[in-house]
Amino acid sequence: MSLPLDPSVVILAVPALSAVVLALVPSYRVSAALNVLACGLTFLCALALFVVPHGAGPLLIVDDLNVVFVVLNTFVAFTTSAFSASYIAHELETGRLTPLHLRFYHAMYQVLLTAMNMALLSNNLGVMWVSIEVATLTTVLMVGLYRTEAAIEAAWKYFMLGSVGIALALFGTILVYMVAQPVVGEGHDGMIWSVLMRHVREFDPALLNVAFVFLLLGYGTKVGLAPLHAWLPDAHSEGPTPISAVLSGLLLNVALYAVLRFKLLLAAHPGTLAPGPLMMAMGLASLLLAGFMLYRRRDIKRLFAYSSIEHMGIIAFAFGLGGPLANFAGLLHMTMHSLTKSAIFFAVGHACQVKGSQQLADIRGLTTSHPLLGWGLVVAVAAIAGLPPAGVFMSEFLVVTSAFAHMPWLALPLVAGLLIAFGALMWKLSGIAFGPPSPGTAPVKASYLPFGLHIALVLVAGLYLPPPLVAWFRHVAALLG
């Protein structure tokens, strides 16, 4: 794991070095191109993880679980950087951002990618905690990039609630170290995932249960699960739209990965309580809350922020339900949500620039005024709402099927939440896409390639999943217990 050309090392080195370079490049066009190039190279290195032997060292670990997250993370980061190039150029032309802001933005984008990848690849639970904290602080700074009063307020709220969550996660991490110390001894071995997994059956189950509660609440704040979700709508609404895509498509998944890592510890210990009920409760609460809140949103970015809360609730419910089918559905839904929601934010970002507003009342009749953008958004929203043949429909169908098979009484509120959210999204979409177009036709050079690629993958996944991908997800689902 320590070879200089090991892909897992390069995945961390490329964005880290790129952040330094981008902080020094004054030209926007050069920095935007370098940002895309660095993200593309990082994604190629992530693909190399499929062919290199998996293993664990004192610092990094590569296994079937984190490869899923790393590949998805680097792919969405790459496509979002391509979308960002055209989006941020418009912000520069309109004066909302200055060249100095853009240097900061591109450097922080690579710092964020480094921190997220480090959290996913770290074999040390302390380093993972630090990496998620760095990712949080980086996004706090990027949310406040516009320096408006509302943006500063959103960044401050994100910082405060994120600090509470990360403090709870730190306490849970300390408890895990305390429960491991009598077995593995003092020192860094008590923080190493591969060591903990080998000795977990010897740990005190009661203290391990308490640790998981704190960890779920702490990292659940970053996932955006109710009742710890309040930071997420403001952060999406006030930050640059590419950051909204990264938050929904990537950072929420990184925090979810941390929860799943600790869930693996409990699943490997026969004496611990099942972590599933707490995850299912928070997941259902998130789904139902977000479903009702969707009806009252007047800001388009807040609307899809609550949609992210809804879908992270579905994913948490699936992993809490457990079993091969539910875990498979959770992995599939996580992947489909990341691809679809980031594509939605790509379209929403350009729609807001075209209309000069984020208010739903000002964004109407897009299929008439901007047909390609409007119909693209129709397809994307229909996909995230769960209509066939999109991959989201398949994953939601598997979650509901698994719930009916194992806990039919929980399947009813699950289906109710899905229907409530579906109705809200279709109602809001009818105004956004159809009817008389609202004023505002600012010229925008939109980049449709990242959007089209995401939606194509989501539609294909609803019809056909390659057998190697199915086998891989099944293996990971079995690991999750």
* DSSP string computed for 69-102: HHHHHHHHHHHHHHHHHHHHHHHHHTTSS-HHHH
CB neighbour class for 100 (10 Å; exposed up to 12, middle 13-18, buried from 19): exposed
Beta-strand relationship, 55-56 and 61-62: antiparallel
Start-to-end CA distance of the chain, whole Å, equals 27
pLDDT, one tens digit for every residue, the chain (481 residues) = 444 467 888 899 999 999 999 988 888 888 889 999 999 999 999 998 888 877 777 888 888 888 889 999 999 999 999 998 888 877 787 777 788 888 888 999 999 999 999 999 999 999 999 999 999 999 988 888 888 888 888 888 888 888 888 899 999 999 999 998 888 888 788 888 888 888 888 888 888 889 999 999 999 888 888 888 888 888 888 888 888 888 888 888 999 999 999 988 888 888 778 888 889 999 999 999 999 999 988 889 999 999 999 999 999 999 999 888 999 999 999 999 999 999 999 999 888 888 888 888 888 888 888 888 889 999 999 999 999 889 999 999 999 999 998 888 889 999 999 999 999 999 999 988 887 887 766 666 667 889 999 999 999 998 998 898 898 888 888 888 7
pLDDT, position 11? 92
3-state DSSP assignment of residue 11: helix
CB 245 within 8 A of CB 340: no
Handedness of CA 120, 8, 104, 79 (dihedral sign): negative
CB 60 within 8 A of CB 123: yes
Length of the chain in terms of residues written? 481
Tokens linked to 467 = 């057998």
3-state DSSP assignment of residue 299: strand
Interaxial angle between packed helices 231-238 and 149-184, expressed in degrees from 0 to 180 and rounded to the nearest 10: 130
Tokens linked to 258 = 């941390």
3-state DSSP assignment of residue 352: helix
What gap in Å lies between CA 168 and CA 162, rounded to an integer?
Answer: 10
User: Beta-carbon neighbour count of residue 70 at 10 Å?
Assistant: 25
Of all helices (H) and strands (E), which one includes residue 408? helix 408-433
For residue 122, the cross-strand partners are 60
Half-sphere exposure of 282 (CA within 13 A, CB side): 26
CA 152 to chain centre: 23
pLDDT, position 1? 42
Instruction: Report the predicted TM-score, pTM, of the whole model to 2 decimal places.
Output: 0.92
pLDDT, position 442? 60
What gap in Å lies between CA 197 and CA 211, rounded to an integer?
Answer: 15
Q: What is the DSSP letter of 95?
A: T
